[in-house]
Amino acid sequence: MSDIRTILLVMAMHDEAKSIIESLGLKLQKKHNSKLPTETFSGKYNDKQIWLQLNGKCPRFGVDNIGTDASVLNVYTGIENHNPDLILNAGTAGGFARANAKVGDIYLSYPYVYHHDRRINIPGFTEYGIGKYTCYPCLDIAKKLGVKAGVVSTGNSLDHTPLDLEIIEQYNGEVKEMEAAAIAWVANIFGIPFLAIKAITDIVDGSETTEDEFLKNLNYASKILGEKTIELIEVL
């Protein structure tokens, strides 16, 4: 793993990234393009150069740019500007009681990430819509860090339809979130290894509504996410 010297850490929400920025002492950098919302933080940690890029705020609605569109723009500019050896997507996500997930659990993406809401029922396009992008081998790392490893499923809605859940189960999804597969798609195009680390804020098949459980647990899960992301960087 000594060949990983530059890590591009792609994140959607500032609240998720705050503890990582503070703990690593990352500094806000000047924008490469003033029209783009992406925010870039940089610093050295041990022998690694860390570039943390946030999707930034939507100038129209004043909220974090979550979801796949902003993430594609974010990771593309990060690759062009920083030439990373590994792309790491960190964030919060939903887990499943059927997979014994609990709030605060940490997952590394393995063996792939995919889309559950790109339904294109035309031959060839069905598989394209799902995607299934392979991830950096991480089972030994997960064991060392004491975290879980599982398939991550991406969609652009916080809630879900019955068909979403059907597709997630069909592809063995254990984590539901809104960015990873889009980032992995870009990483795949450029031939750069990809890995996601996700902290569980809510239980998708639980009794609470997703939005209420997410908001209640965001700070708690983000704190654990920050701690484990730094531990992950240490062993990469």
Active site amino acids? 16, 202
Calpha distance 108→89 (Å, rounded): 10
How far apart are the two ends of the chain, measured CA to CA in Å? 6
Contact 11, 53 (CB under 8 A): yes
Element (DSSP H or E) covering residue 41: strand 39-45
Calpha distance 144→5 (Å, rounded): 20
Rounded (10°) angle between helices 14-24 and 210-235: 30
Q: Which distant-in-sequence residues (6+ apart) come within 8 Å of 162 by Cβ?
A: none
Calpha distance 127→150 (Å, rounded): 20
Which residue, among 145, 71, 63, 70, has the nearest Cα to 110 in the 3D structure? 145
- Phi, psi of 193, rounded to the nearest 5 degrees: -55, 145
